[in-house]
């Protein structure tokens, strides 16, 4: 999948084990790990010298690297890659907090709030940044339309969709509409299009308008005109919910102000991150970008663990965690997974 990756079977059993122990240790305390320590830790009853030989091999393969001549080794991106792909042993996520989340999510009405809760939980559990893409609603179907006259030419549109979401928009009209005109228009639209996809509704309306331009009664025309304007440009609001960015400040590898500032700035910009998340929408399983694998500068020292979440077996969004490359993958992965499962369940329309 990733170019330049190393096949696990190119490594001896022993090398794999040592790499695993090394990475686990490095993740724990962030210091380069040397041969003496590794020999003890590995429980393989090897001397430091033998370990050194193995390390030399691993270095040649590009799985570890030494910051300088006489320091221990640290994992490279490829090292982490191999680790998360084939060596990792994930720990199941512990009990009570999970049930709490399940309950809280179930109790929520507003999908936006539910998403935010999930994002907060991710950040709280991992002590890193949690991010949840809002469920996409391109197949959102209409449930109710309401028009309300605000002033001469300004009309408030209230759209209720089947996933219990409410959208308000204000549109500026070309001419003035009376209250009763608007009411009739709303009634017509609601009656005709309930249960239909928003996009589809708009297309139908546009089509209708073109076909029968002249011979329409006043009500029909009003309804179509208003409907067309109301559905015009779907203003996607925020695209994802991010929580716990500030957690990232505690990681020494991100301590450089400039770097951190870029990172935060890019969280605000959203586009790049969103693009990254979009990539993960298609992936069926949990996805991990390590270090520069994301191909996006500010995330160079970070890893991103994402997984899609489903409602009724249909993928509707992505959620995950952003943290330093040196993160506890074996804990984070199951946390992300369970969150996806619970969020999906909570969003199921009732």
Partner DNA sequence: CTCTGGCACTCCAATTACCTGAGTGCCAAG
Partner DNA sequence: CTTGGCACTCAGGTAATTGGAGTGCCAGAG
Contacting positions for DNA (CB under 7 A):
31-37, 45-50, 52-53, 55-56, 59, 66-73
Q: Look at residue 49 and give the partner it binds from DNA, a copy of itself, none, a contact being a CB closer than 5 to 8 Å depending on partner kind.
A: DNA
232 lies in the binding site for a copy of itself (CB under 8 A):
no
The residue from 28, 91, 249, 275 that contacts a copy of itself (CB under 8 A) is: 249
Place of tokens 């030419």: 153
The least distance separating a copy of itself from the CB of residue 256, rounded to whole angstroms, comes to 10
Stretch that binds a copy of itself, among 12-20, 42-50, 165-173, 279-287 (CB under 8 A): 165-173
Which partner from the list a copy of itself, DNA, none does 268 bind, CB cut-off 5 to 8 Å by kind?
A: a copy of itself
Question: Which of DNA, a copy of itself, none interacts with 170 (beta carbon under 5 to 8 A by kind)?
Answer: a copy of itself
Nearer to a copy of itself, 49 or 255 (CB): 255
By three-state DSSP, how is residue 61 classified?
coil
d(C-alpha 178, C-alpha 245), whole Å: 49
In the complex, least distance from residue 119 CB atom to a copy of itself, rounded to whole angstroms: 13
Q: Using alpha carbons only, what angle is made at residue 276 by residues 271 and 281, rounded to the nearest 5 degrees?
A: 115
- 212-218, long-range: CB within 8 Å, 24+ apart, which pairs? 218/181
Q: How far is the CB of 10 from DNA (least distance, A)?
A: 15
Q: Kindly determine how many residues on this chain lie close enough to bind a copy of itself according to the rule CB under 8 A.
A: 27
131-160 residues in contact with a copy of itself (CB under 8 A) are 144, 146, 148, 150-151, 154, 156, 158, 160
* Shortest separation between residue 255's beta carbon and a copy of itself, angstroms: 6
* Alpha-carbon span 340 to 126, nearest angstrom: 15
Q: Which of 28, 29, 33 is nearest to 52 (CA)?
A: 33
* Dist. CA 141–CA 199, nearest whole Å: 9
Q: Counting contacts by CB under 8 A, is residue 56 touching a copy of itself?
A: no
Parallel, antiparallel, or unpaired for β 314-324 and 142-151? unpaired
Tell which phi-psi region holds residue 221, choosing left (phi > 0), alpha (psi between -120 and 50) or beta: alpha
Distances from the Cα of 303 to the Cα of 58, 82, 96, angstroms: 22, 14, 27
In angstroms, rounded to a whole number, what is the distance separating the alpha carbons of residues 30 and 250? 13
Radius of gyration from C-alpha coordinates of the chain: 27
Q: How far is the CB of 309 from a copy of itself (least distance, A)?
A: 22
As measured in angstroms, the least distance from the Cβ of 268 to a copy of itself is 7
> Is residue 110 at the binding interface for a copy of itself, with CB under 8 A as the rule?
yes
CA neighbor of 24 nearest in space, from 43, 50, 47, 10: 43
Chain position carrying tokens 């809280």: 104
Distance CA 105, CA 134 (A): 15
In the list 246, 253, 275, 295, the residue contacting a copy of itself (rule: CB under 8 A) is 246
Pick one of 89, 257, 285, 314: the residue that binds a copy of itself (CB under 8 A): 257
Work out how close the CB of 303 gets to a copy of itself at its nearest, in angstroms, rounded to a whole number.
Answer: 20
Binding to a copy of itself (CB under 8 A) within 265-284 occurs at: 265, 268
- Least distance (Å) between residue 247 CB and a copy of itself: 9
Taking CA atoms, 294 is separated from 25, 134, 203, in Å, by: 25, 21, 37
Site residues, a copy of itself (CB under 8 A) = 109-110, 144, 146, 148, 150-151, 154, 156, 158, 160, 164, 166, 168, 170, 245-246, 249-250, 255, 257, 260-261, 264-265, 268, 350
């Amino acid at each position: 999948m990733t170019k330049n990756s190393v096949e696990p079977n190119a490594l001896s059993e022993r090398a794999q084990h040592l790499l695993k122990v090394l990475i686990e240790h490095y993740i724990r305390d962030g210091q380069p790990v040397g041969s003496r320590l590794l020999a003890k830790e590995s429980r393989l009853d090897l001397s430091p010298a033998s370990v050194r030989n193995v390390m030399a091999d691993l270095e040649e393969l590009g799985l570890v690297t030494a910051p300088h001549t006489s320091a221990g080794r640290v994992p490279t991106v490829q090292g982490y890659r191999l680790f998360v792909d084939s060596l990792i042993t994930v720990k199941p996520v512990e009990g009570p907090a999970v049930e709490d989340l399940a309950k809280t999510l179930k109790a929520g009405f507003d999908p936006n709030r539910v998403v935010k809760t999930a994002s907060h939980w991710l950040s709280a559990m991992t002590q890193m940044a949690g991010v949840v893409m809002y469920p996409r609603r391109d197949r959102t179907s209409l449930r109710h339309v309401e028009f309300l006259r605000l002033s001469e030419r300004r009309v408030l549109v209230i759209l209720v969709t089947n996933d219990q979401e409410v959208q308000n928009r204000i549109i500026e009209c070309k001419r003035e509409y009376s209250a009763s005109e608007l009411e009739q228009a709303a009634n017509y639209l609601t009656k005709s299009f309930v249960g239909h996809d928003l996009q589809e509704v708009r297309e139908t309306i546009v089509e209708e308008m073109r076909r029968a331009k002249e011979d329409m009664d006043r009500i029909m025309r009003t309804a179509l005109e208003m409907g067309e304007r109301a559905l015009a440009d779907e203003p996607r609001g925020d695209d994802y919910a991010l929580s716990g960015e500030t957690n990232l400040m505690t990681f020494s590898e991100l301590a450089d102000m400039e770097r951190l500032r870029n990172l935060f700035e890019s969280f605000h910009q959203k586009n790049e991150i969103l693009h990254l998340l979009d990539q993960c929408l298609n992936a069926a399983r949990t996805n991990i970008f390590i270090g520069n694998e994301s191909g996006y500068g500010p995330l160079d020292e970070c890893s991103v663990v994402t997984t899609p979440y489903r409602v009724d077996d249909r993928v509707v969004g992505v959620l995950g965690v952003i943290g330093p490359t040196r993160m506890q993958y074996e804990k984070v992965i199951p946390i992300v997974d369970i969150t996806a499962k619970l969020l999906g369940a909570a969003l199921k329309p009732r």
